[in-house]
Amino acid sequence: MPELPEVETVRRGLAPFMEGARFTSVEVRRPDLRFPLPERMAERLTGRRVERLRRRGKYIVCEYELNRHAIIHLGMTGRFTVSVAEGGGQAPVFDRFVHAAGGDPAHDHIVFTMSNGARIVFNDPRRFGFFDLCEAEGDDRCPHLYSLGPEPLSNSFSGPVLLAALSGRRTPVKAALLDQAVVAGLGNIYVCEALHRARISPRRLSRDIGPARAERLYSSIVRVLTEAIEAGGSSISDFAAADGALGYFQHNFAVYGREGLPCPVCRGDVKRIVQSGRSTFYCTSCQR
DNA sequence: ACTCGGTCCTGAAGGC
DNA sequence: TGCCTTCAGGACCGAG
């Protein structure tokens, strides 16, 4: 579920503990997550200094040495917990952006200890997340990054760029927006929300998106992502919370998960359909 | 070249 | 109460 805003939120939470620090130890507790973990991952990272923690689409990119980076994908349920040694014991210090609930310790798959005393645990019950180490120079040489489309909150993204990426595609615009090669970082939730804001039906074929709709869709994507980041993300579920709430941008959803409820804009019915095996929520009245 | 559906995984939620 | 089924999701891969 972590999409761009949630990944950005996690990155911001981790950066103060990682940037400028060295990996003192890396404990890899199982051989694989979604994919096999990199060979000799612990040895390759130990002693290295993290220069920068950045984000590309839904990936966290940990630059730890010139032209080398670790790729981190949170999958569905990947989360980080940070604690720092204080005084005699390990007093947990949770940044508000980092998951406070550590989850079941049985799913603590990787434990990083940093030279600044931070202990960073990667927990992922479903193991849809993954780590990889890339030593190639530049994002265009990284197998995970090279095929990604434009970064939606950068200057490389615009209405015309989106229009060009959608043109000629026979697939519904909903499916196209989930394709990370069209634009990087959107998942099921923010695609539904962006289409609603742009008043575009998720069923409309990509090739039938013209310049006007492309422009609306572009600005809707930028706005919904920006607002969600400002809210600290939305879908990093905290299973320990009594109400099972997801995070607070969730309360701003207009359509996602709101089947049968009125559209907040036009009071029309929010409908749920299935497109390429995924739930799509949209307002049948104002999205065309 | 493009599009689609199956697959991975586990826990929550709903039905009986 | 407890078991069973279904669903959630991103990225990848093979089939068409």
- What whole-number distance in Å separates Cα of residue A76 and Cα of residue A1? 5
Per CA to C1' distance, which residue is closest to B9? A126
pLDDT at position A1: 67
Whether the CB-CB separation of A81 and A102 falls below 8 Å is answered with yes
How many Å apart are A257 CA and C6 C1'? 17
Mean pLDDT score across all residues of chain A: 86
Q: How confident is the model at residue A247 (pLDDT cuts 50, 70, 90)?
A: low
Q: Where are the alpha helices (DSSP H) in chain A?
A: 4-18, 41-45, 159-166, 173-178, 188-197, 211-230
pLDDT digits (tens, 9 = 90+) for A131-184: 999 888 788 888 899 889 999 999 999 999 999 999 989 899 999 999 999 999
What residues form DSSP beta bridges with A134? A69
- Catalytic: which of A22, A49, A169, A278? A278
**A95 CA to C11 C1' distance (Å):** 29
The residue from A2, A5, A172, A202 that is catalytic is A2
Distance A171 CA to B2 C1' (A): 10
Confidence category of residue A237, pLDDT binned at 50, 70, 90:
very low
Identify protein residues whose C-beta is within 7 angstroms of any atom in strand B. Answer: A 34, 76, 104, 106-107, 125-128, 168-171, 175, 206, 239, 244, 276-277
CA–C1' gap, A259 and B15, in angstroms: 20
Q: How far is CA A98 from CA A37, A106, A205, A254, in A?
A: 23, 19, 38, 25
The sheet with strand A118-123 has its strands ordered as A23-28, A108-114, A118-123, A79-86, A89-91
Contacting residues 49-68/A vs strand C (CB within 7 A): 57-59
Protein footprint on strand C: which nucleotides are under 7 Å from a CB? Answer: 7-12
- Identify the active-site residue in A12, A44, A58, A197: A58
Catalytic residue flag (residue A174): no
Share of chain A above pLDDT 90, in %: 58
A137-161 burial code (b ≥16 CB/10 A, e <16): eeeeebebbeebbbbbbeeebbbeb
The predicted structure's pLDDT at residue A103: 66
Mean pLDDT value across residues A251-264: 90
In angstroms, rounded to a whole number, what is the distance separating the alpha carbons of residues A112 and A92? 15
Q: Which residues contact A270 (CB under 8 A, 6 or more apart)?
A: A255, A258, A259, A260, A261, A262, A263, A281, A282, A283
pTM given for the model: 0.91
How confident is the model over A29-50, as a mean pLDDT? 90
Q: Does A58 participate in catalysis according to the annotation?
A: yes
Cα dihedral sign for A225, A57, A270, A248? negative
Task: Report CA Rg, chain A.
Answer: 20
Question: Tens digits of per-residue pLDDT, A61-102?
Answer: 999 988 889 999 998 888 888 888 764 334 333 333 334 445
